[in-house]
Chain A
């Protein structure tokens, strides 16, 4: 039995065994998206909403997602991508709850068009209102400790701090801040979201003690998304296993591993 089958975690009343949350944007085809969802063994799949006249149909992607979610026993996590204010995000969240029939919402309120950095002030306002309205709020946030505490105090069951700007593939740009979040919020559920590029980034996040990883572009934009989804699954499992096993502490100096003692090996004490 693999590690994930015995290493469950919870979001509210929902118990999950996979620590891999997967986004659905940017895949080459609906079939590849469906196969990637299966290969990832994810139990949480993110989706979005758009204005109906913004562009044409979705070319079958939404139907592929719904089918894959049913086939794999996964849940949908709608996002409020594109929102720039708390007011916008709250309205979109209500629409998402009705459309997708779930109280889960990945709350995104962006404060900068270039970095797509979360706006911590509007995010907190929106999170507070949505928690009161009965939503399970997954806040996409920065790695700021104080902002994170405010979101948890407002009733968010977890935090989703960024590793790097959305879609940048840069990995964990500020591991010190992420490590600080883990240490100062030991009981909080923490999910790295955004900026992951390689499976090693995801493994590193799990080795830091984060509870899960959410990524999209790293799989969708890989040369072969389906094998890449599998690679990320293995990396997340490995990182989690390493965290549970206890990674050795790094040292600034050498510590010999072979116990030869203080004597030169060939010449001996009488030489």
Chain B
């Protein structure tokens, strides 16, 4: 098991978990959120190629209202 920081909170994952698998496990529709790992944007099409490491900082963003 590894522990990542998911939106600033510790979150345990199985070894070799990909970003795409994390998104699916959290119940998010792939087109409904945007993702960043360690401060860098990861395009939707590349999430399956990103294997999360222990301590990775993962941020998920969703659309909201704005001015």
Contact = CB atoms under 8 A, between A and B. Distances in A.
B60 to A, nearest CB: 4
Given A49-B61, A51-B61, A87 B39 contact: yes
A137 interface: no
A53 B63 CA distance: 13
Contacts, number: 94
B63 A100 contact: yes
A48 B67 CA distance: 8
B34 to A, nearest CB: 3
A167 B67 CA distance: 9
A79 B6 contact: no
Contact of B66 (A23, A94, A98): A23
Interface string B23-38: 0000010000111100
Given A53-B7, A87-B39, A91-B40, A58 B64 contact: yes
A99 B63 contact: yes
A254 B44 CA distance: 67
A49 B67 contact: no
Interface string A27-44: 100000100000000000
Given A47-B63, A99-B61, A91 B7 contact: no
A227 B66 CA distance: 20
Interface residues of B, number: 23
Interface string A77-106: 011010000010001101110111000000
Which of B40, B59, B61, B65 has most chain A Cβ within 10 Å? Answer: B65
A61 B41 contact: no
B40 A47 contact: no
Nearest to B6: A53
Contacts of A46: 66-67
A24 B6 contact: no
B67 A79 contact: yes
Contacts of B9: 53
Nearest to A23: B67
B30 to A, nearest CB: 11
Contacts of B65: 23-27, 33, 47-48, 58, 61-62, 65
A54 interface: yes
A95 B61 contact: yes
A50 interface: yes
The interface centre, meaning the residue of A91, A95, A167, A217 with most chain B CB atoms within 10 A of its CB, is A95
